[in-house]
Amino acid sequence: MTEKIIGIDLGTSNSAAAVIQGGKPTLIPAAEGTTVAGKAFPSIVAFSKDGDLLVGEPARRQAVTNPDNTIREAKRKMGTEFTYKIQDKEYKPQQISAFILQKIKRDAEAFTGDSISKAVITVPAYFNDNQRQATKDAGTIAGLEVVRIINEPTAASLAFGLDKNKQDMKILVFDFGGGTLDVTIMEMGGGVFEVMSTSGDTQLGGSDMDKAIIDYVADEFRKKEGIDLSNDSTAMTRIKEGGEKAKIELSTVMETEINLPFIAQDSSGAKNLEVKLTRAKLDDLVNPIVQRCKSSIEKAIEDAKISKTDITKIVLVGGPTRMPIVRKFVSETVEQEAESGVDPMEAVAFGAAVQAGIIAGDVTSDIVLLDVTPLTLGIETLGGVREPIIERNTTIPTSKDKTFTTAADSQTAVTINVVQGERPMVADNVSLGSFNLTEIPPAPRGVPQINVKFDIDANGIINVTAKDLGTGKDAKITIESATKMSEADVEKMKGDAEKFAEEDKKKKEEVDIKNEAESFIYTTEKLVNQDLKDKIPQDKGIKITDAIKELKESLTQGSEQIKQKLDALKAIVNEITTELYKNATPPPGAEQQSEQGQDNSTDQNTDEQKSDSENNEEQKTDSNSEQKPESS
Amino acid sequence: MPEENDKKELDADDIVIDETENIEDTPKAEIEEILSDQKKLSICEDKLQRALADYQNLDRRNNIEVSQKILKRTNQLMLSFIGIYEDFLRAKDALVNDNNNTEGLDAVIKNMESLLYENNIKQIEAVGEIFDPKLHEAVSTVEDNSLDDGTITQEVAKGYISSQEVIKPSKVIVSKKNESE
């Protein structure tokens, strides 16, 4: 067995991770259990007033009480110079994402029982180099080597097993999340998933649908009973829960009922909310939101310069696409059926895990996902026009050049501004850096010949050289990433992240000891009051009761005190149970069996340790042979 | 097939005799064959041990997975039950408001609470407690300078813990001090 590599869907609203187990991707559960985001967890980071770090569900739960110190959607700021100022400390978006990745790493280690140090992370197809580099940096800060960054729609296609198809395909990926819509058209063939176009709406998602349902239910109740519930937070919370349940049910049945007894009270007595909701009514309610997706699909098809009939596969991603109306709408718009068989909420994380599995050698695939340039690279020319040199989706390493000339008579210097993006004007793209080539001999415009050469190595590092072909003089620039952090910065942030990890560990230990104490109190009380009620002598019973009382009192104190009292109670319970067993007559042959059992368990431990240690050796070998250099 | 069996025994005897003889008299090819067989045996033993270890690991993981699935399913069932239990509590409140006798209903509620206790499900303390995002979910805040910052003033929906896992956080309204005062 090789070292496990996890796949991470680092989402704007929610994040999830998966790992290959038994040849299949399995979602890694969040430590807090199932949340509002299902098996995923919200991509929210917060710092409590005491400076404690909260990630995921706990961060979401406290958001309304602590909005200034709660960070949502840090992904939107990745690759920018933006900094979050929290409690007089500055955090880069990479650091915020690193906190999320660190939690994923922790959850993955708890789930697999192995140490996790490598990951495949997904990013939107439209992410530029800076944003991708920032994502890699976030991984490094979190203590994860990012072995590959892949596009989210590519990951979704992998999850649906589209890489197993032999023929070339054009795939439409419809990613409808909680708050955003992304439509991507990709072409698969020759070992590459190539992004043809992307479009979407950053202000459209499943939460709009939930609101429509809640408003309808509250309105129905108001019409029937004349009571407005919108200011009653208890009632509205119940309606929200009931509405969500009904929405899920209506994916499989045609009619359901939201039944909330005693939701309100007036002079005539208690009022019950009973609203029948049919699938047709639900469709009617959410249809305006669904129809708003149409323009994004049409734009993506138009930008890809293809027609609907050219699309061979449709992949649906995101919770709202589970709804039959959404599936039907996409199928009707594109005039063909969508792929099925994978939970759309888990598809991206699953696909990332499949890619991780391919790299680790756990999964076989006919397709080899190659590292490509995600966006076109070019330089600025006269009038702020972008001249492309390396087209997007070019497999790296690569090298291309073009020859330019001067724009004015006797021009002795040129500025080479390296830009990245798909737009024709420089201002609409991202500038990665610029440099000057000077001492060009004065000549009429159009005469000097300046060759500009782009080299991208296997690590994604771009070298741009400008050479005056007349004199042979050249100048160059090396671009790693405009927002790439220095190694020292990354190390410092790693240290900060580890500091929080240490604090988290300490806090977890405190919670664990408290939980253990509560659990032990519960078990002991059950033992004393039920299971061994008549078997414990009175004096011992009093001793236990006192020890329980002391332990209960210690629960409000520090972990040391709890541990001390817990140990004391354990000792008393052990003493009593030992005595009880001593007095009990063992059935014939019981002693022998017990000894045998011990022997077996020792063997088991030895075997298990051996197996694990040998696995580790294999991991090392494999990781060396598979290790891909990281952009730096 | 007795003949074959006899032959096998004879072969085995031969080997024993060979072993007692001077090793130098044993043909080299035969020694190599024995060494090779010993090596194969050792590999087989190693493989068997690994297979056993893998099986035990798989068994252990499987047991963990099964118990996790049972716990998850039980929690889901208990959450559905809690929904009905809470409806009974609301029914009781409505009856109390109308000055009706609730003795019978009290007994039913008590039985329900026993069932929750037996399944190690506890209600999360909320009103008067300091807000804890691991247990509570804040739905809004209310300004109140008489209370410590973050004190829970109202419980909008009850929360529950099963063993050590929060199966439903309580939804609460939390106090906030007015900073301008």
Q: Summarize pLDDT for A132-166 with one digit per residue, the tens.
A: 889 999 999 999 999 988 889 989 998 988 877 77
Instruction: Name which of A6, A91, A112, A50 is nearest A356 in CA terms.
Output: A6
Q: How many residues does chain A have?
A: 632
What is the C-alpha separation between A486 and A92, in angstroms, rounded? 13
Burial-class residue A479 by CB neighbours within 10 Å (0-12, 13-18, 19+).
Answer: buried
Q: Would you place residue A599 in the very low, low, confident or very high pLDDT band (cuts 50, 70, 90)?
A: very low
Whether residues B156 and A233 touch (CB distance < 8 A) is answered with yes
Q: Would you place residue A391 in the very low, low, confident or very high pLDDT band (cuts 50, 70, 90)?
A: confident
Backbone angles phi, psi at A379, to 5 degrees: -130, 165
Instruction: Name which of A431, A466, A490 is nearest A129 in CA terms.
Output: A431
Whether residues B57 and A608 touch (CB distance < 8 A) is answered with yes
CATH class of B123-181: mainly beta
Asked whether the predicted pLDDT for residue A629 surpasses 70, the reply is no
ipTM over 0.95: no
Point out the residue among B49, B54, B120 whose CB comes nearest to the CB of A522: B120
Task: Verify whether residue A152 is a known catalytic residue.
Answer: yes
Asked whether the predicted pLDDT for residue A239 surpasses 70, the reply is yes
Q: Which two tokens stand for residue A421?
A: 């993006």
What is the C-alpha separation between A143 and A355, in angstroms, rounded? 20
Tell me the average pLDDT across A373-384: 83
What's the pLDDT score for residue A10? 95
Helix (H, G, I), strand (E, B) or coil at B180: coil
Q: Which two tokens stand for residue B150?
A: 């973050």
Asked whether the predicted pLDDT for residue A615 surpasses 50, the reply is no
Q: Which of A175, A187, A362, A371 is catalytic?
A: A175
Q: Among A88-97, A384-393, B22-31, B160-169, which stretch is predicted with the lowest mean pLDDT?
A: B22-31
Asked whether the predicted pLDDT for residue A607 surpasses 70, the reply is no
Task: Tell me how far CA of residue B162 lies from CA of A570, B80, B114, in angstroms.
Answer: 23, 14, 14
Q: Which of A57, A107, A137, A152 is catalytic?
A: A152
Q: Which helix (H) or strand (E) holds B156?
A: strand B152-157
Tell me the average pLDDT across A6-11: 95
Q: Which residues pair with A44 in a beta bridge?
A: A72
CATH class of A5-202+327-360: alpha beta
Whether residues B139 and A233 touch (CB distance < 8 A) is answered with yes
What's the pLDDT score for residue A578? 83
> Which comes out higher in pLDDT, residue A308 or A530?
A308
What's the pLDDT score for residue A621? 33
The pairing of strands A377-381 and A385-390 is antiparallel
**Any CB–CB contact under 8 A between B36 and chain A?**
no
Angle at A76 between CA A71 and CA A81, to 5 degrees: 90
- Chain A residues with CB under 8 Å of B166 CB are 32-33
**Any CB–CB contact under 8 A between A597 and chain B?**
no
- Chain A residues with CB under 8 Å of B56 CB are 604, 607-608
Q: Which two tokens stand for residue A274?
A: 């009973």
Asked whether the predicted pLDDT for residue A293 surpasses 90, the reply is yes
Burial A360-382 (b: 16+ CB within 10 A, else e): bebbeeebebebbbbbbbbbbee
Asked whether the predicted pLDDT for residue B119 surpasses 50, the reply is yes
What is the C-alpha separation between A340 and A337, in angstroms, rounded? 9
What is the C-alpha separation between A461 and A478, in angstroms, rounded? 7
**Amino acid letter at A315?**
V
Burial-class residue A617 by CB neighbours within 10 Å (0-12, 13-18, 19+).
Answer: exposed
What's the pLDDT score for residue A313? 92
What's the pLDDT score for residue A385? 85
- How many Å lie between the alpha carbon of B161 and the closest alpha carbon of chain A? 11
Asked whether the predicted pLDDT for residue A597 surpasses 90, the reply is no
Q: Using alpha carbons only, how large is chain A's radius of gyration in Å?
A: 31
On whether the CB atoms of residues A604 and A110 are closer than 8 A, the answer is no
Counting residues of chain B whose pLDDT is more than 90, the rounded percentage is 49
Task: Verify whether residue A75 is a known catalytic residue.
Answer: yes
Q: Which of A39, A75, A247, A565 is catalytic?
A: A75
Q: Using alpha carbons only, how large is chain B's radius of gyration in Å?
A: 36
Q: Would you place residue A224 in the very low, low, confident or very high pLDDT band (cuts 50, 70, 90)?
A: very high
What is the C-alpha separation between A245 and A235, in angstroms, rounded? 15
What's the pLDDT score for residue A35? 61
Helix (H, G, I), strand (E, B) or coil at A374: coil
Q: Would you place residue A628 in the very low, low, confident or very high pLDDT band (cuts 50, 70, 90)?
A: very low
Q: Among A489-503, A543-557, B166-180, which stretch is predicted with the lowest mean pLDDT?
A: A489-503
Could you identify the residue written with the tokens 């280690």? A109
Asked whether the predicted pLDDT for residue B131 surpasses 90, the reply is yes
How do residues B5-46 score in pLDDT, each as one tens digit? 444 444 444 444 444 445 556 788 888 999 999 999 999 999
Asked whether the predicted pLDDT for residue A603 surpasses 50, the reply is no
Instruction: Count CA atoms within 13 Å of residue A554 on its CB side.
Output: 26
Asked whether the predicted pLDDT for residue A619 surpasses 50, the reply is no
Whether residues B166 and A33 touch (CB distance < 8 A) is answered with yes
Asked whether the predicted pLDDT for residue A89 surpasses 80, the reply is yes
Task: Tell me how far CA of residue A475 lies from CA of A400, A419, A428, A470, in angstroms.
Answer: 16, 17, 26, 14
Strand order in the sheet with B152-157: B136-143, B170-176, B152-157
Q: Would you place residue A532 in the very low, low, confident or very high pLDDT band (cuts 50, 70, 90)?
A: confident
Tell me the average pLDDT across A220-227: 93
End-to-end CA distance of chain B: 104
Instruction: Name which of A494, A484, A488, A632 is nearest A78 in CA terms.
Output: A484
Q: Which two tokens stand for residue A96?
A: 């915020």
Counting residues of chain A whose pLDDT is more than 90, the rounded percentage is 38
Task: Tell me how far CA of residue A410 lies from CA of A16, A413, A472, in angstroms.
Answer: 59, 9, 18
Asked whether the predicted pLDDT for residue A585 surpasses 70, the reply is no
Q: Among A257-271, A498-512, A584-598, B104-118, which stretch is predicted with the lowest mean pLDDT?
A: A584-598
> What secondary structure, in 3-state letters, does A491-555 show?
HHHHHHHHHHHHHHHHHHHHHHHHHHHHHHHHHHHHHHHHHCCCCCCHHHHHHHHHHHHHHHHHC
**Any CB–CB contact under 8 A between A604 and chain B?**
yes
How do residues A15-38 score in pLDDT, each as one tens digit? 999 999 878 899 998 887 766 556
Counting residues of chain A whose pLDDT is more than 70, the rounded percentage is 87
What's the pLDDT score for residue B110? 95
- Chain B residues with CB under 8 Å of A58 CB are 133-134
Tell me the average pLDDT across A442-469: 86
- Chain B residues with CB under 8 Å of A65 CB are 131, 138, 141, 150, 174, 176
Q: How many residues does chain B have?
A: 181
List, in sequence order, the alpha helices (H) in A150-204: 152-159
Helix (H, G, I), strand (E, B) or coil at B82: helix
Q: Among A97-101, A249-253, A591-595, B155-159, which stretch is predicted with the lowest mean pLDDT?
A: A591-595
Asked whether the predicted pLDDT for residue A192 surpasses 70, the reply is yes
What is the C-alpha separation between A27 and A345, in angstroms, rounded? 11
Q: Which two tokens stand for residue B70?
A: 């049972």
Tell me the average pLDDT across B168-180: 87
Q: Would you place residue A228 in the very low, low, confident or very high pLDDT band (cuts 50, 70, 90)?
A: very high
Helix (H, G, I), strand (E, B) or coil at A537: coil
- How many Å lie between the alpha carbon of A489 and the closest alpha carbon of chain B? 31
Is the dihedral angle over the CA atoms A242, A247, A251, A256 positive or is it negative?
Answer: positive
Q: Would you place residue A369 in the very low, low, confident or very high pLDDT band (cuts 50, 70, 90)?
A: low
Q: Which two tokens stand for residue A169?
A: 């395909």
Q: Would you place residue B61 in the very low, low, confident or very high pLDDT band (cuts 50, 70, 90)?
A: confident
> Which comes out higher in pLDDT, residue A540 or A353?
A353
Q: Which fold has domain A206-288?
A: Actin; Chain A, domain 4 (3.90.640)
Q: Which two tokens stand for residue A19?
A: 């790992």
What is the C-alpha separation between A10 and A18, in angstroms, rounded? 11
Q: Would you place residue A487 in the very low, low, confident or very high pLDDT band (cuts 50, 70, 90)?
A: low
| A135 alpha carbon, distance to own chain's centre | 11
What does the DSSP 8-state code read for residue B95? H
What's the pLDDT score for residue B159? 94
On whether the CB atoms of residues A18 and A25 are closer than 8 A, the answer is yes
Task: Verify whether residue A539 is a known catalytic residue.
Answer: no
Tell me the average pLDDT across A561-573: 90
pLDDT, chain A, mean: 83
What's the pLDDT score for residue A496? 73
Whether residues A515 and B87 touch (CB distance < 8 A) is answered with no
What is the C-alpha separation between A296 and B99, in angstroms, rounded? 59
Backbone angles phi, psi at A432, to 5 degrees: -95, -15
**Any CB–CB contact under 8 A between B28 and chain A?**
no
On whether the CB atoms of residues A393 and A151 are closer than 8 A, the answer is no
What's the pLDDT score for residue A36? 55
50-69 in B: which are within 8 Å (CB) of A?
Answer: 50, 52-54, 56-57
Q: Which two tokens stand for residue A279?
A: 């699938």
Q: Would you place residue A269 in the very low, low, confident or very high pLDDT band (cuts 50, 70, 90)?
A: confident
Whether residues A59 and B49 touch (CB distance < 8 A) is answered with no
Tell me the average pLDDT across B131-138: 93
- Cis preceding-peptide flag for B27 (omega within 30 of 0): no
End-to-end CA distance of chain A: 30
Q: Which residues pair with A266 in a beta bridge?
A: A269
Closest residue in chain B to residue A608, using alpha carbons only: B53
Instruction: Name which of A39, A37, A36 is nearest A27 in CA terms.
Output: A39
150-179 in B: which are within 8 Å (CB) of A?
Answer: 150, 156-157, 163-167, 169, 171, 173-174, 176
> What secondary structure, in 3-state letters, does A305-370 show?
CCCHHHCCEEEEECHHHHCHHHHHHHHHHHCCCCCCCCCCCCHHHHHHHHHHHHHHCCCCCCCCCC
Task: Verify whether residue A303 is a known catalytic residue.
Answer: no
Tell me the average pLDDT across A481-500: 66
What is the C-alpha separation between A445 and A70, in angstroms, rounded? 56
What is the C-alpha separation between A355 and A342, in angstroms, rounded? 16
Q: Would you place residue A623 in the very low, low, confident or very high pLDDT band (cuts 50, 70, 90)?
A: very low
Asked whether the predicted pLDDT for residue A593 surpasses 70, the reply is no
Q: What is the CATH number of domain A377-479?
A: 2.60.34.10
Tell me the average pLDDT across B59-85: 89
Asked whether the predicted pLDDT for residue B51 surpasses 60, the reply is yes
> Which comes out higher in pLDDT, residue A483 or A526?
A526
Interface residue of B68, B72, B90 to substitute, partner A, most A CBs within 10 Å: B90
**Amino acid letter at A25?**
P
Backbone angles phi, psi at A399, to 5 degrees: -145, 130
**A306-309, long-range: CB < 8 A, 24+ apart:** A306/A170, A306/A185, A306/A196, A308/A333, A308/A334, A308/A335, A309/A335
Structural domain boundaries in chain A: 5-202+327-360, 206-288, 377-479, 515-583
Instruction: Name which of A163, A159, A195, A204 is nearest A316 in CA terms.
Output: A159
Instruction: Name which of B147, B169, B167, B148 is nearest B158 in CA terms.
Output: B169
Residue B52's CB is within 10 A of a number of other CB atoms, namely 15
On whether the CB atoms of residues A184 and A17 are closer than 8 A, the answer is no
What is the C-alpha separation between A26 and A6, in angstroms, rounded? 10
Asked whether the predicted pLDDT for residue A531 surpasses 80, the reply is no
| A304 alpha carbon, distance to own chain's centre | 28
113-142 in B: which are within 8 Å (CB) of A?
Answer: 120, 131, 133-134, 136-141
